[in-house]
Amino acid sequence: MLIGKPSKRPNLKTVRRIKQILFNVLQLTEDAVITVTELACLEEDCSPIETVIGLLRPELPQLQYKVHKSVEEIDSNDLLDVCISWGFDVQPSTLEPFLILHHSLRS
């Protein structure tokens, strides 16, 4: 039996776009995997939904970053925060294509 309302799934195009932009901006090799998962946040003082973005690379520790927003609300500033927290030197201008396309997906 399910408790509560069924959750709305995030837009698959947006999830794929987030993965592709991070893959390109971080210049990852083909063996790297980026995960984007939208979860209900049950922690105190947390928004009801959070998006967890992960980076898996062979023989390196897993990296993870939580954005306290839904996938649909993530913007280029959030992705810049992800990159910086993971230790990558990324310029904001490299994320502009995401911002432009993301707005067109919402329309």
pTM, entire model:
0.81
CA angle 83, 16, 35 (to 5 degrees): 55
17 near 101, Cβ under 8 Å?
A: yes
- Quickly count: other Cβ atoms within 10 Å of residue 20's Cβ: 14
Whose tokens are 């990296």? That residue is 63
pLDDT in 10s for each residue of the chain, 107 residues:
344 454 678 889 889 989 999 999 999 999 999 999 999 877 777 778 899 999 999 999 999 999 999 999 998 889 999 999 999 999 888 877 666 655 544 44
Domain boundaries, the chain: 12-102
pLDDT value, residue 3: 44
pLDDT value, residue 80: 93
Q: pLDDT tens, 55-84?
A: 999 999 999 999 999 999 998 889 999 999
